[in-house]
Structure 1
Amino acid sequence: MAQSSSDAQPAGKSQPLPPELLRVAGVVLIGLLVMQLDGTMVSVALNTLAHDLSASVATLQWVVTAYLLALMVGMPLAGWAADRFGPRTMWIVSLAVFLVGSVLCGLSTSIWMLVAARVLQGLGGGMMVPVGQAMLMRLAGMEHRAKLVALMAIPGMIGPTLGPVLGGVIVDGIDWRWMFFINIPIGVIAFLVAGRNLPNMKAETAAKLDVLGVLLLVPGLVAIVYGFSRAGTVGFGSGQVIALLAVGVALLAGFGVHAARPNVDALVSMQMFKYRGFATSCTLLLLVGLTMGAGIVQPLFLQQVHGESPMSTGVLLVAFGVGSVVTSVLLGRVFNKLGPRLVGVVGIVLAIAGAAFYPLFDAGTSRVLIITAMLVSGVGLAMVVLTMSTALYVGLPPQQIARATGASRIFQQLGLSAGTAVISVVLQIQLSDQTDRAPDGTVGPTGLAHAYSTTFWWGVGFLVLAVVPTLFLPKTVVAPAPVPRQAAEAAQSQGAQPQEA
């Protein structure tokens, strides 16, 4: 598939998004928002689910874990499926699977029926997001990709903030089943809009599924993600965790050897890593994922140390989302002119500066300072996310876009899982240490603040690790197109006839 003609536009010029592209983006965003909200609403309903479905805490964790593991199964298959059957077909199929899973979740009469339905949801959601993003990237040239990435980032920024609030309203005011039933009318609208606006793009390849790659990559990813999930509960020293992570690493190493072989159409081609933009962006996605996974500490601090209610905690966290959304929208207009490296460096500096205030928080910290720090962090991380999500495609052949998108989601999810596990273990250790130091075994406000302060420094450390790969980002997204006279002179100097534009 040839690249869009907009690829030839000068890098510094901002072109408005064509109406047909906006319509496709709107359809994809509806699906992404539904998935983001659904993935974050469930956390506030766990106590209610335990009561209504007579489930233990150990069993209840599978409502979240099963969904997460199913996401990891769908993501690596998304690129191949989009190339094999076409992005439009696979996006609609993925949405259908997600909605069927939502209906079954709402109808669940037992905890294990709910877990099975969450697996179905995860499979659909795990494919829907990368397929939708790949479809947009294939339709748009590099000139429009920054704006589209900025739009795609909005649900991911507001979902984790809005989801728990909306979930709380539904659980307290209606019934927990409506967390899943609410997806149905939105999904039906998405189906109707998709039928009219999604282009019927042809498949890129008729290649068969890389069965050996699936048998190596998918179980490897599931083992690692589940290992991190268990580590957040029982620690990294657990024999079960060590075994899961060891098996996962061994399977992924085997996949790397398999995918590097010539004439192998792998789920994730090792050839993509020769492109600096892709390799650097995947590294950043992993490291920034660590930081976002560590974000689970912020709401816990606000409630346990600062004494905020769940509702006021959500309001304070909105500052992060607002900073991210506004930055993404405004920066998308001038991103090509500034270039990935400049935006990425400024963004990582701002993200570190904002996060560096978190360890200073205690019970008496003003809300103004908390909001300011979160706002700065949100602005900085939005700049980094926009940078790496756009630079990901620089230089890649169009036929690799779908698989590159699926691969990038894998790196991000691995980072999120690892970050959540590491920060959970660090916080547990710090709280246990403070408990041991307390004369009566009760940790006071000062001890709690110290435990969270140390934990927050780990989040800052994750961001510092991202500084080096940021410096290796491409300077520009699109090389400026030469004026006709320059092109003619260059062609003549090489002894060739000038080509038509």
Structure 2
Amino acid sequence: MTSDNTVESPAAAADQGLDRRVLTVAGVVVLGAIMSILDMTIVGVAQNTFQSQWGATPATVAWTMTGYTLALAAVIPVTGWAADRFGTKRLYMASTAMFVLGSVLCATSGSITELIIYRVIQGLGGGMLMPLGMMILTRAAGPERIGRVMAVLGIPMLLGPIGGPILGGWLIESFSWHWIFLINLPIGIIAIVYAFIVLDKDETSESQSFDIVGFLLLSPGLALFLFGISSIPEAQQEHGTMFTPRVLITAVLGAVLIVGFVFWALRAKLALLDLRLFKNRNMTVAMITFTCFAIAFFGSMLLYSQYFIGVRGETTLMAGLLVAPQGLGAMFTMPVAGALTDKMGPGKFVMTGLVLITAGLVPFTLLGADTSYWIICGALFVQGLGMGMTMMPTMSAAIRTLEPHSISRGSTLTNIVQQIAASIGTAVFSVIFTNQLKNAGPKLPVPHSPEPVAIGAQAFGANSSPATRAAGMQAPDTFHQLLDQGLPFTAHAFGHTYIVGAILVAVCLIPAFFLPRTHDADTGAAERAVMVH
């Protein structure tokens, strides 16, 4: 604020960096985001360990990931209302405490059932951390510095899928599976104390009522829809089709509830989610762009480690390290793109980033069983450069033109879109890859197997049929001979799947073309929100 009691102009604010106060608040937010996002991926490397620990089936153990994701999805919709009602500081500390409690309980699990239940508790706490972090940082920095703010938040969002397997593999190999959960205890305690000291006192709104109808429609709807979508890969593998009752009934019922919520929200005065925010052109364009990007991004991330482990024979830890160049590339461009987005608008950076990602995916469409790691890591680095210019500038374009009182609801909305897009991307790429793998290579007879199998499918042992794996144990020499022959076909299955990813990222250029490409176009709504005191 200036000496004559007028608010500093948005243009002047855009030229400022993040001051010490905002960076201090960012430290709190990043701690919480790192815990929440890492735990979405870190448990993936422990699936075999859990199977051995309790003699559980892969389908049962998978619920340690599914339960967490569904809890996340169910609690995100209430974040906007809860933040307005109870205050962001109190809610952030309570969510972190619940997440830490769930983590400690997970480490004490004596059965797979207990672990699944405790993972749900973890998810209920972790689901609010990311949208709350966006609200806290956006309010602290103001709309004119939201690009820089999103660059800070983007670090855990991009590094989580990469760092999770690396950290999880190291903790399990060096200590025990308990430490993938116990590591959250000291981080969580620091985050809670840090938040208590640093965050401003809450200003709550007592008058707003809770949209119980919207909650009963949206939260179960999201959970059921995402469960149905996430069940597609397993259904495809076990039954050869995605159209199973488990998938169809849950996904369709969830979709019906979500559609019901849309009709309700457009008529209700104070809906759980303010869908009228989509009347904002920038918000709508940004969300369409981000949805297409997230489907391609999270779907592609699923396959990188599978290629390194299934085709190249690397360990989980090494597979995570090989993907690290992607995160390094993002760290180069993300701070620069965040700062320049505040001054120039997101359009130019997002389109440039999408071109870089597409270029980085091209080498993956030509994958072989012996493709040079220099080429692969170089392509991942180029992808990372593009991702640093794409993900967070797109999200900042969605939020920065909202009115101040709408930021909490806008943050919640973007996080729901991210969860849905990530689940769809994982399912779509899993199905495409499974079908490519099934048809990879010529059909050859396998000893003691009732029917021939494709060499490519046999090469990918983790996804092969029980008959194929049994044949491998009964005739190991023949099996490994066929395994070596099938690796090129398996690699080609990965390559063909990445063609879809490259096309999908390129398609993102269409909605990205309509993002603001000048500072004035991007901040018109923000300027209207500035008031002179």
Matches of 1:11 and 1:275 in 2, distance apart? 24
Q: Which residue of 1 aligns with 2:283?
A: 278
1:371 aligns with 2:377: yes
1:305 aligns with 2:306: no
* Other structure's SS at 1:10 match: helix
Matches of 1:477 and 1:394 in 2, distance apart? 11
**Contact residue 356 and residue 383 of structure 2 kept, 8 A:** yes
What's the offset of the Cα at 1:337? 2.6
Matches of 1:175 and 1:6 in 2, distance apart? 55
Matches of 1:461 and 1:233 in 2, distance apart? 25
Matches of 1:106 and 1:481 in 2, distance apart? 47
Match for residue 445 of structure 1 among 475, 479, 487 = 487
Q: Which residue of 1 aligns with 2:109?
A: 108
Map 1:235-314 → 2, pairs under 5 A: 235=236, 236-261=242-267, 263-294=268-299, 295-314=301-320
- State the Cα RMSD in Å: 2.3
Q: Aligned letter for 1:237?
A: F
What's the offset of the Cα at 1:478? 5.4
Q: Which residue of 1 aligns with 2:470?
A: none
Matches of 2:522 and 2:279 in 1, distance apart? 23
Which sits farther off after the overlay, 233-242 or 149-158? 233-242
> Against the structure 1 CA distance between its residues 268 and 5, is the aligned structure 2 distance closer, same or farther, given a 3 Å change threshold?
farther
What's the offset of the Cα at 1:439? 5.8
Q: Which residue of 2 aligns with 1:463?
A: 505
Q: Specify every segment of 5 or more residues in structure 1 that has no aligned partner in the other structure, as ranges.
A: 483-498
Matches of 1:399 and 1:425 in 2, distance apart? 41
> Against the structure 1 CA distance between its residues 205 and 474, is the aligned structure 2 distance closer, same or farther, given a 3 Å change threshold?
farther
Matches of 2:31 and 2:392 in 1, distance apart? 20
Matches of 2:46 and 2:427 in 1, distance apart? 21
> Against the structure 1 CA distance between its residues 124 and 478, is the aligned structure 2 distance closer, same or farther, given a 3 Å change threshold?
farther
Q: Which residue of 1 aligns with 2:393?
A: 387
Q: Specify every segment of 5 or more residues in structure 2 that has no aligned partner in the other structure, as ranges.
A: 237-241, 447-452, 457-485, 525-530
Map 1:334-413 → 2, pairs under 5 A: 334-413=340-419
What's the offset of the Cα at 1:299? 1.3
Which sits farther off after the overlay, 144-153 or 228-237? 228-237
* Other structure's SS at 1:333 match: helix
Matches of 1:454 and 1:22 in 2, distance apart? 43
Please report the TM-score for the alignment, with normalisation by the length of structure 1. Answer: 0.91
What's the offset of the Cα at 1:199? 0.9
Map 1:310-325 → 2, pairs under 5 A: 310-325=316-331
> Against the structure 1 CA distance between its residues 231 and 12, is the aligned structure 2 distance closer, same or farther, given a 3 Å change threshold?
same
**Contact residue 204 and residue 399 of structure 1 kept, 8 A:** no
Q: Which residue of 2 aligns with 1:161?
A: 162
Q: Aligned letter for 1:411?
A: V
Q: Which residue of 1 aligns with 2:78?
A: 77
List, as ranges, runs of 4+ consecutive aligned residues in structure 1 with deviation greater than 4 Å: 4-7, 477-482
> Against the structure 1 CA distance between its residues 121 and 157, is the aligned structure 2 distance closer, same or farther, given a 3 Å change threshold?
same
1:54 aligns with 2:55: yes
Q: Which residue of 2 aligns with 1:490?
A: none
The structure, 1 or 2, with the larger RCO (C-alpha pairs under 8 Å, 6+ apart) is 1
Deviations 1:415-457 (A, max 9, x none): 1101111111111111111266346533312211221111111
> Against the structure 1 CA distance between its residues 419 and 68, is the aligned structure 2 distance closer, same or farther, given a 3 Å change threshold?
same
**Contact residue 146 and residue 342 of structure 2 kept, 8 A:** no
> Against the structure 1 CA distance between its residues 47 and 29, is the aligned structure 2 distance closer, same or farther, given a 3 Å change threshold?
same
Q: Aligned letter for 1:345?
A: M
Matches of 1:209 and 1:477 in 2, distance apart? 37
Q: Which residue of 2 aligns with 1:486?
A: none
Q: Which residue of 2 aligns with 1:418?
A: 424
What's the offset of the Cα at 1:16? 2.0
Q: Which residue of 2 aligns with 1:491?
A: none
Matches of 2:149 and 2:283 in 1, distance apart? 18
What's the offset of the Cα at 1:477? 4.9
What's the offset of the Cα at 1:95? 0.5
Matches of 2:278 and 2:57 in 1, distance apart? 44
Matches of 2:205 and 2:394 in 1, distance apart? 25
What is the total number of aligned residue pairs between the two structures? 482
Matches of 1:7 and 1:53 in 2, distance apart? 61
Deviations 1:17-61 (A, max 9, x none): 121111111011111112222222111111111222332222111
> Against the structure 1 CA distance between its residues 477 and 222, is the aligned structure 2 distance closer, same or farther, given a 3 Å change threshold?
farther
Matches of 2:252 and 2:523 in 1, distance apart? 49
**Contact residue 11 and residue 476 of structure 1 kept, 8 A:** no
Please report the TM-score for the alignment, with normalisation by the length of structure 2. Answer: 0.86
% identical equivalent positions: 34
**Contact residue 162 and residue 324 of structure 2 kept, 8 A:** yes
* Other structure's SS at 2:62 match: helix
* Other structure's SS at 2:202 match: coil
Q: Aligned letter for 1:268?
A: L
Matches of 2:514 and 2:208 in 1, distance apart? 34
